[in-house]
Amino acid sequence: MTTSYHNPVLLRETVEHMVVDKGGVYVDATYGGGGHTQFLLDTLNEKGTVVAFDQDEDAIKNKIDDPRLILLRSNFRYIGRFVKYLKINEVDGVMADLGVSSFQLDEDSKGFSFSAESALDMRMNTSATYTAADVVNNEHEADLVGIFSAYGEVRNAKSLARAIVKARSQRPITSIQEFLLCVEPLIMGNRSRYLAQVFQAIRIKVNDEIGALKSLLTASAQILKVGGRLSVLTYHSLEDRIVKHFVKRGVFDPKSQFASDAFGEVPRWCLEPVNRKPILPSKEEIQNNSRARSAKLRVAEKTRSYE
Ligand SMILES: C[S@@+](CC[C@H](N)C(=O)[O-])C[C@H]1O[C@@H](n2cnc3c(N)ncnc32)[C@H](O)[C@@H]1O
């Protein structure tokens, strides 16, 4: 495990709440620096198996050398397909630690951070073609408003979208520095907080994070065995709301604009939350790792299947 790559959040809690059988099969949907995967491998016995995913090729380069680990470079939205391909009928647990790693945030060339001097990129998967520059230069003004308000809870989303459309009509906005020139005059409140919200919104759009999360949740509920567990760490309220509703009733928030049940299907499973409230990091963990500040862990158990 490389803590310089990423310092894992709620490490013990995420893994220990998920593991129901030490010789079972588990999925870590978000390998990153392998912190959770390593702890999971340490928790399992020699019969245990971990199938891990990451769509970023840099994460895959740090594969832990352990015969019990299968590491795949793929979007986690395809876990159902991969599990079938690996001839695994059902799994004992699925965990996900959503968002980006510290490595991704700190790596200037990836363009996730507003302090980077690089192109507007923000792709976790560099084989994908849709970038932050495409969002900023090509999305309609009304769609930009939706992206900034839904994904970033940016208070002045309308003015921001208007300013972007005006600036790009002069010339395309291709670098983070050019983008900041356009955004700076609109900053409301704390600069870092505001920019973090704007960048988060664009990142979620570029990587279709909400679509991928919904696919992951639905597929996980399908591949979990009865008694198996889903353990999900989120870092912002939009993600947490989706996970909260899913672990309670197996559906997504019916009131939001993303309304749907499990992709229009009646869920063929029952999930029950393991804890009534989300598990939060201790004050001490937050002091040692600022990324833990907004973390929430929700765990569900599959209690029934109607297949
Ligand atoms: C917060 S980091 C995980 C850190 C990891 N738990 C650790 O201890 O090092 C999230 C990772 O998930 C990956 N990721 C995010 N969304 C993904 C998706 N839809 N499919 C596959 N990987 C994804 C990112 O590339 C990143 O490496």
Q: Are residues 267 and 240 in the same domain?
A: yes
- Whether residue 250 lies inside any domain: the answer is yes
Q: Give, as one character, the DSSP assignment of residue 119.
A: B
Q: Are residues 90 and 149 in the same domain?
A: no
Q: Give, as one character, the DSSP assignment of residue 262.
A: B
The pLDDT of residue 173: 97
Q: Are residues 214 and 301 in the same domain?
A: yes
Q: Calculate mean pLDDT across residues 176-187.
A: 96
Structure confidence at residue 306 as a pLDDT band (50, 70, 90):
confident
Pocket test for ligand 1, best of 43, 54, 73, 102 (most atoms within 8 A of CB): 54
d(Cα 157, Cα 107) in Å, to the nearest integer? Answer: 27
Measured N-to-C along each axis, helices 209-223 and 237-249 cross at an angle, to the nearest 10 degrees, of: 20
Domain with 83 in it: what CATH number? 3.40.50.150
Pocket test for ligand 1, best of 69, 101, 123 (most atoms within 8 A of CB): 101
**Of 157, 181, 206, at which residue does a domain stop?**
206
Instruction: Read off the pTM.
Output: 0.94
The pLDDT of residue 269: 84
Q: Are residues 160 and 96 in the same domain?
A: no
CB within 8 A of 39, min separation 6: which ones? 1, 8, 11, 12, 15
Expressed in angstroms and rounded, the spacing between residue 32 Cα and the centre of ligand 1 is 5
pLDDT of 96 above 80: yes
3-state secondary structure of 273: strand
Structure confidence at residue 233 as a pLDDT band (50, 70, 90):
very high
Q: Are residues 139 and 182 in the same domain?
A: yes
Domain count, the chain: 2
pLDDT in tens, 260-293: 455 666 778 889 999 999 999 999 999 999 999 9
Q: Are residues 300 and 216 in the same domain?
A: yes
pLDDT in tens, 185-210: 999 999 999 999 999 999 999 999 99
280 to 15, 92, 231, 283: CA distances (angstroms): 14, 23, 13, 9
Based on DSSP, count helices (H) and strands (E) in the chain, helices before strands: 13, 7
The pLDDT of residue 259: 38
- Whether residue 158 lies inside any domain: the answer is yes
